Amino acid sequence: MPKDSGIGASSKRREDVRFLTGAGNYTDDINIRGQAHVYFLRSDVAHGKINGIDSSTAEAMPGVVRIFTGKDFEGIGGLPCGWQVTDRHGEVMQEPPHPVLAQGKVRHVGDPIAAVVADTAEQARDAAEAIEVDLEELPAVINMKEALKEGATKVHDDLTSNLCYDWGFVEENKGAVEEAIQNAAHVTTLELVNNRLVANPMEPRVAVGDFERGTGNSTLYTTSQNPHVIRLLMGAFVLGIPEHKLRVVAPDVGGGFGTKIFHYAEEAFCTFAAKAINRPVKWTSSRSEAFISDAHGRDHVTKIELALDADNNFTAIRTETHANMGAYLSTFAPSVPTWLHGVLMAGNYKTPNIYVNVKAVFTNTVPVDAYRGAGRPEATYQLERVIDKAARELGVDPIALRRQNFITEFPYDTPVAVTYDTGDYGATMDKLEEMADIAGFAERRKQSEAKGKLRGLGINCYIEACGIAPSNLVGQLGARAGLYESATVRVNATGGLVVMTGSHSHGQGHETAFPQVIADMIGIDESMVEIVHGDTANTPMGMGTYGSRSLAVGGSAMVRAAEKVINKAKKIAAHLMEASDADIELKDGAFSVAGTDKSVAWGDVCLAAYVPHNYPLEDIEPGLEETAFYDPSNFTYPSGAYACEVEVDPDTGKVTIERMMAADDFGNVVNPMIVSGQVHGGLAQGIGQALLENCVYDENGQLLSASYMDYAMPRAADLPNFEVDHSCATPCTHNPLGVKGCGEAGAIGSPPSVVNAVIDALNSGGKDVPHIDMPMSPARVWAAMNGAAATGHGTAEGRSLGGASS
């Protein structure tokens, strides 16, 4: 029987009402009296030297207030990087400066050169066209392999090379892995590209800076997933504004998917310029601008080897990845190919020996950072593709091969530094086999073949490490921040509650799901609880929302704060009922004394806390408000099994997704409706990566896929209905809610099953195609079927390390 409220209920989302009636308050809806607008003049070449900027004509144009260039930011900090990776030789990564406006050189198409502030956005744009930049174009490095060659053009003149770091993990295991590979009965090798993507939340980024002359306080309204992080990075490292003089507000945010985690130049600029011109300054990104200024995602080129013994047990995994950093280090970029990727390489399997090598490379492209899944999709993709390839080479069932190698005992220490607390990979695979009706596949394939189509079935498993993260652990790994979360639970005198959380909702439904937890803890209606988030002025210092961490970390902080509130309320109730604290029970919104019929309502206790006439003032303070900071002791490890069925048109190479199924273990689930929605969205993005989306640079560093005309976003008719299940639940053992996080799973788990399905379809048609790189466009599939190499920009060809990716 489904619950109708509290934990486990599919409560309808309260935030929907404002979004459905046009009453949302997104950053671009914020206009401050007297505001000016900024337009950024951006580089149209990938690499160039700025010999001069003549803005005299532009300055005289109507409405222009002031034109800023790199000179105005000399002596001002650059955008900081939040993670320092130490390489396999014990050296710290190369870390170039990242100026707010270009200083002397531009390093990617989109790098901002000048900023025109004018009365209207149109005037600013008009004036920007009149700025004359003497830009000397330099050779650009786009291809990672070329970038690492001796004598290659350097993206940053002051660095020794374009190599950011050469990371080995776990370096001590390298020899054992080599030995295991040498002694293996079978080794399967696969080279592949994890295609560069653009996160593309539907709301483009916006920043509004405001400076209050009377108080000297600055405020930034911004499209951020983590306003406190922006306040800290921008205040302390860029502009030198102490946090008590700086407020950052992230109101309704129209999707993030990682790309709104990072601190961007435009935020710092608007905050800086508002003070400089003593007027609010607003920037609204166009979509075209977003493509060349939002951090991109993925962009790994990988070679993976899987060693098996004569009984098909996995004995070793070795992977070598080139990870594109782009032209500068975005906020968390160095962590993505390392600590969010290497530690996942064990997957769901008890492989004893694993070695991961990652070379992070600077190129003249937009910076690359976390995008939904961040490192974990890259790990899952290579692992689940190579396992499928091994099964095909060995002639064994891909499900049986996986099952045979599943980790079955928990907690499990992987050879890549993490401990899985719980999971049941057999259960999700059982569930998947049931959902996917694998027994009926042969018949469905026959029906497709009767229509002249090839049908394929692909499956894969995934594990993710999310709910990030234990601060002491990430500190050892190079994080320059803690990764706890915070919450303040404020009880009002009449019994209603406000939870001020450091988490941030930009589509995840916190305003609905968080109250479900509090309502259960106290036994009151969900409508008595309000969630406040997104404003540094009225929430405790929090690290924000990414890495599927809101409920696991932010929700845990809220539970801890609510427990403190309840403990204090019990003391007040004990006083009111002249009983001992230890005998007080809270149930259904009332405190009672165990073993008696005495009780006092929740609301009466709250009132007593604020009108303390009859109150234990000598023992406790009035009021009922508590704050908690929760630092997790481990990651959480959601896992699951996914299946995809495709039809391939052998005449055109077009792939159609016929069925997509996901069996996930998220531990306990607070709102099943929201969780399913999160999986749907992740699946759509994973299918988008597998079939449609690709960020394509030409050899000169021009981004060819820089609008929705050229970057293929998944649309309604590209996708099937999804079948999702999260009934296999092994609750997380180390957080109070037993929850694991669900935001990224769909995007992590789906790409390999789609590719596996296409390869299966082609092989069923007699085409011995071992691999096709994503996105599997009709041209690439057709080429693979017809024995031709899929060529064109952004394919493995030209970027892979060892020629054909087979």
Partner 1 sequence: MTSVKMTVNGKSVSGEVEGRTLLVSFLREQAGLTGTHVGCDTSQCGACLVHVNGDAVKSCTMLALEAEGAEVATIEGQANADGSLNVIQQAFQDHHGLQCGFCTPGMVMSAAALLKENPKPSETEIREYLQGNICRCTGYHNIVKAVLAASGQDVGAIAAE
| Residue 406 token pair | 């599943």
**Least separation, in Å, of the C-beta of 308 and partner 1?**
36
Nearer to partner 1, 16 or 134 (CB): 16
Binding flags for partner 1, 472-511, as an x/- string (CB under 8 A): ----------------------------------xxxx--
Judged by CB, which is closer to partner 1: 260, or 734? 260
x-marked contacts with partner 1 along 121-150 as a string, rule CB under 8 A? -x----------------------------
Question: Do residues 508 and 616 lie in contact, with contact meaning Cβ atoms separated by under 8 Å?
Answer: no
Q: Which of residues 266-285 bind partner 1 (CB under 8 A)?
A: 284
Q: Minimum Å distance from CB 750 to partner 1? A: 10
Distance in Å, CB of 715 to partner 1, minimum: 5
713 scored as a contact of partner 1 (CB under 8 A)? yes
Q: Are 349 and 406 in contact (CB under 8 A)?
A: yes
Question: In a 10 Å sphere around its CB, with 0-12 CB exposed, 13-18 middle and 19+ buried, how is residue 282 labelled?
Answer: buried
User: Interhelix angle for 672-687 vs 745-764, to 10°?
Assistant: 50
Report the distance separating Cα 337 and Cα 589, nearest Å.
Answer: 48
Nearer to partner 1, 28 or 424 (CB): 28
Instruction: Pick one of 716, 766, 768, 787: the residue that binds partner 1 (CB under 8 A).
Output: 716
Dist. CA 632–CA 321, nearest whole Å: 30
Residues 225-264 that bind partner 1 (CB under 8 A): 252-255, 257
How crowded is residue 516: how many other Cβ atoms within 10 Å of its Cβ? 23
Looking at the Cβ atoms of 176 and 719, the one nearer to partner 1 is 719
Instruction: Tell me the C-alpha to C-alpha distance, in Å, between residue 355 and each of 179, 316, 321, 609.
Output: 12, 8, 11, 58
Site string for partner 1, 17-56 (x = CB under 8 A): xxxxxxxx-x-xx-x-------------------------
Q: What angle do CA 29, 31, 35 make, to 5 degrees?
A: 150
Q: Give the N- to C-terminal CA distance of the chain in Å, as an integer.
A: 51
Q: Which is nearer to partner 1, 508 or 795 (CB)?
A: 508
List the one residue out of 727, 731, 738, 722 whose CA is nearest residue 679.
722
Residue pair 164/93 in contact (Cβ under 8 Å)? The answer is: yes
Minimum distance of partner 1 from residue 721's CB (angstroms): 5
Phi, psi angle pair for 150, to nearest 5°: -55, 130
Residue 673 found at the interface with partner 1 (CB under 8 A)? yes
Cα(515)–Cα(532) distance, integer angstroms:
11
Which runs of consecutive H residues, i.e. helices, occur in 66-117?
none
- Binding to partner 1 (CB under 8 A) within 181-210 occurs at 200-204
* Residue 286 interacts with partner 1 (CB under 8 A): yes or no: yes
Residue type, 75: G
Angle at the Cα of 45 (from 44 to 46), degrees rounded to 5? 125
Of 652, 707, 786, 791, which lies in the binding site for partner 1, with binding defined by CB under 8 A? 707
User: Judged by CB under 8 A, which of 243, 631, 658, 723 binds partner 1?
Assistant: 723
The binder of partner 1 chosen from 3, 12, 149, 245 (CB under 8 A): 12
- Residue 714 in contact with partner 1, rule: CB under 8 A: yes
**For residues 283 and 615, which CB has a smaller minimum distance to partner 1 in the complex?**
283
CA distance 367 to 330: 6
The reply to whether 719 sits near partner 1 by the rule CB under 8 A is yes
Which CB, 37 or 799, lies closer to partner 1?
37
Cα distance between residue 443 and residue 668, in whole Å: 36
What does the binding site for partner 1 look like in residue numbers (CB under 8 A)?
Answer: 10, 12-13, 15-24, 26, 28-29, 31, 122, 200-204, 252-255, 257, 284, 286-288, 506-509, 672-674, 676-677, 680-685, 707-709, 713-717, 719, 721-724, 746
